[in-house]
Amino acid sequence: MQQTKLQGVSVGLSGGELKLGNKAPEVSLVAADLSEVKVSGGTGKARVIIAVPSLDTDVCATETHKFNERAASIKNTEVFVVSMDLPFAAGRFCSTEGIKNLRALSDFRDKEFARAYGVLIADGRLARPQL
């Protein structure tokens, strides 16, 4: 089991570990309007996927703002931020914070993304950024 630190405490991560060159796993996530969004590799477009525990934390909000700014100038690329936030909370964050160049998606339903990308703390929380 992979390990990471959360507030100085070692925690185990569930799921697989992606290596450079691996095809991105296909997962289903939930958009603010509750529609299902499939995210995977092999779409013909580059994809940037940012994983954060919650958009309502200072570090994650700052990271999302920075990627939103950069996403405006990236051509032929889709940018997503994935969190465990409820879809409504992610939608509210994007609308109140002016996030328009990336799409916020939620993994709250079954943690499929967190498991597939190896960022799920064994007790169920999203653990760390993964690009």
Catalytic residue among 60, 79, 99, 116: 60
Say whether 94 is catalytic: no
CA 113 to the chain's CA centroid: 8
- Residue 40, classed as helix, strand or coil, is coil
Distance CA 111, CA 103 (A): 18
Residue with tokens 């996403």: 71
Tokens 């760390």 — which residue?
128
What's the length of the chain? 131
Residues tagged active-site? 60
